[in-house]
Structure 1
């Protein structure tokens, strides 16, 4: 996939990054992510961007509006919290390092009052910041610089996981997922899945392209209170591969030492 420029920190944003957005957008190919949902459906999804860097704020606003989302922006934490109470976003893109109320405090306040997914941004890729952000309720984390395409993929993953009914049926590659019926089709054929197999396959599909560790899978599919051998994940992955006809592991790939990744054909 190509066409999206990099999003940089305040100290390395070039004028071309945002002034040439329209020109870049005309030249780029349409992202496969955009083909998953209609523009009409995306217009119902609201995103709030809170960042004190004007270039990044403008760039992300233009990019997300272009993708069909409803977007509001705030240049500081307090304004962001106030705007969230009025706008009620489904997802917030939140910078950590801001003067006054920083991103951590904003995250705490939003999680207390809003049903919202939060992706935190920072100029520092430090484990301590990531752990702190995730501990207080952030759902995902990205360090600057980052690509717009990766951010877009993470936004779609968060929306699909937290607000699946907003999008109704989700079509990704050869799969059609209907969460209301708890049904997954492969090439228009309904798969016979147990409840656990359904949740596991759904988790893999909605996070396609991302590496998922056994610990992540256990937490999301079996729950935080699961007590048992993590090899149960391998057992269910093996069962899914059989039902998908994935003998060569082209759909569900094993990444030794890391976990699993769904690659859609």
Structure 2
């Protein structure tokens, strides 16, 4: 998934870029509203993270433009926390906001929550090599072989399969599958990954889950 980040502060732009990139997103960067709109004309993102106070075009105006152009969901970054400013953001069409200074993890939680509401994470049918995932019937199949697996394992496999060969950070997977308020440890994720690996092995040798040390996991598809 692609996320457009628009901020005239290079430090904030780089911070958000690093956080989202490490979580597995592709980041498009712009320093003002005009540059952002030029990027969107070439490549429509799944979500935009927009600073409110910018030269040439403020975040409220850019939000209205983005919503009119392609109904792109928007998360506003603002240095102000007053009710009036929040109201202006929501009236402009923003989906949520984060007040500066913010914790990078909070930004990631809110980005994921918006994408989940817009159902941007996965399609009904996901194809990864010979494997098909049906999110309506909750079936994982290769040819005539069909797997029915527990819900959390299914959701985890669906996220990984939505972007084959893309690394998903452990924190992102926990948030996507268990929710941002999950208070358990990462061992739960490791156990679920092992169970999915064991089941995939009975289905096909061409789809595997690789561990990326220190980061997370990715689903690999071999010819």
Q: What TM-score bracket applies, with the shorter chain setting the length? A: 0.5 to 0.7
- What residue ranges of structure 2 are gaps of 5+ in the alignment? 126-133, 140-149, 155-176, 183-223
Asked if the contact 1:161–1:206 (Cα under 8 Å) also holds between the matched residues in 2, the reply is no
Structure 2 counterpart of 1:153:
109
- What residue ranges of structure 1 are gaps of 5+ in the alignment? 1-44, 170-177, 190-204, 211-265
Q: CA deviation at 1:110?
A: 0.5
Q: CA deviation at 1:115?
A: 3.0
Distance 1:164 1:104, change over 3 A: closer
Asked if the contact 2:19–2:108 (Cα under 8 Å) also holds between the matched residues in 1, the reply is no
* Paired residues for 1:81-96 under 5 Å: 81-96=37-52
Counterparts of 1:103 and 1:132, CA distance in 2 = 10
Q: Is the counterpart of residue 133 in structure 1 residue 108 in structure 2?
A: no
User: CA RMSD of the aligned region, Å?
Assistant: 3.2
Structure 1 counterpart of 2:77:
121
Q: CA deviation at 1:164?
A: 4.2
Structure 1 counterpart of 2:206:
none
Report how many residues are paired: 146
Q: CA deviation at 1:160?
A: 1.4
Q: Compute the TM-score of the two structures, normalised by the length of structure 2.
A: 0.57
Q: CA deviation at 1:59?
A: 1.4
For residue 55 of structure 1, give the secondary structure of its aligned residue in structure 2.
helix
Distance 1:187 1:89, change over 3 A: closer
Asked if the contact 2:61–2:92 (Cα under 8 Å) also holds between the matched residues in 1, the reply is no
Q: CA deviation at 1:163?
A: 2.6
Higher strand share: 2
Counterparts of 2:6 and 2:17, CA distance in 1 = 10
